[in-house]
Amino acid sequence: MKPSLLKKTVKLMKGGIKSKMPASVAPMLCTLTKEVIQDDKYLYELKWDGYRIISSVEKGKVRMDSRSSLNYTHKYPVVAKALAALKHDIVLDGEMVVFNEAGLPDFDALQLYDGQETPLTYCIFDVLWMDGYDLKKLPLAERKEILGQILKGNRILRYSESFEDGLALYEQVVQKNMEGIVAKMKDSPYIPGNRGDSWLKTPTRKRQEFVIGGWAESDKSRSFKSLLFGAYTNGKFEWIGRSGGGYKDKEMPGILKQLKAIEIDKSPFHNKVLDTKGARTHYVKPQLVANFEFATWTKSGRIRKPATFLGFRKDKKPKDVVREVPKPVGLIKEEITR
């Protein structure tokens, strides 16, 4: 028997569209901004440092898909059990997170998650479908209200709270060295795959995913000097920069082995690779996605200085990796007031 819901929650849910459960949902995306937009039209949430997961439960059967539609259900049995215990047919959107002893997200620990001993939390920020109703066209504020009741008191399935003061929240995440915040329009529908002004992300540091396209040989004892990376622009793979730091010495031979396994003769980039400084360059199939931190963009759309390698991202498809240049908040405000 399904758990009882508050009358208000049932009324909100039935404001959705009667429909079958979707087979899959592409996650709604955020537009990058340099600073926080402060506007009453938005509510604000923490930007969790983890893996984006769309989960579905139908007749007790659970499925969890990564952003690239990979089935991650077997990776998180504790969360799967908690989802099945909800006793609702439901589709949820959230982030899989491992918290450290200080209560902060630890992405490295998530990558090393062993399935049993490490505490795992699914931070859920949206409900897209529930008990026969498509909720995606409901305003975000109403979807959050439904979600809040469903997850109330759940420790493994954590309700991702919303806040009214974006600047204050951002200051807190800066002090705690967290990833950033997300601003979402209160009346926004959930549009699968969309990246617009309804959802905005403001990170505390410049970090992005890029696709590896090659490596430069080292003239020292290191396995390689740097990795060359890029992103897709209008379907073309474009070289953007290189990364020579952030690698652990013990991990570098393993990285080089991965690169050699997908080595190719010609550059996969459609544009010219600059600043080689005489190093011998090898190219690879653009299959590996990694996260990098960097100082700033140049006017020509390159990384100004070598970026720092933060780790691979196996949850994202290379062709989904596009260059994200921060959109001015002033321009966004102009667009949303038209």
What are 163's strand-pairing partners? 44
Is 61 labeled as catalytic in the residue annotation?
A: no
Cα 33 to chain center, whole Å?
15
Q: What secondary structure letter does DSSP report for 319?
A: G
Q: What secondary structure letter does DSSP report for 83?
A: H
- The residue from 47, 136, 225, 316 that is catalytic is 47
Cα→Cα distances 277→35, 54, 132, 239, 244, Å: 35, 44, 60, 16, 13
Residue with tokens 């020509």: 300
What are 303's strand-pairing partners? 297
Please state, in angstroms and rounded to a whole number, the distance separating the CA atoms of residues 213 and 228: 6
CB 117 within 8 A of CB 43: no
DSSP codes, 47-78? --SSEEEEEEEETTEEEEEETT--B-GGG-HH
In the sheet that 195-203 helps form, which strands lie side by side, from edge to edge?
A: 29-32, 195-203, 180-185, 42-46
Task: Please report, as a single letter, which amino acid is at residue 195.
Answer: R
Positions marked active-site = 47
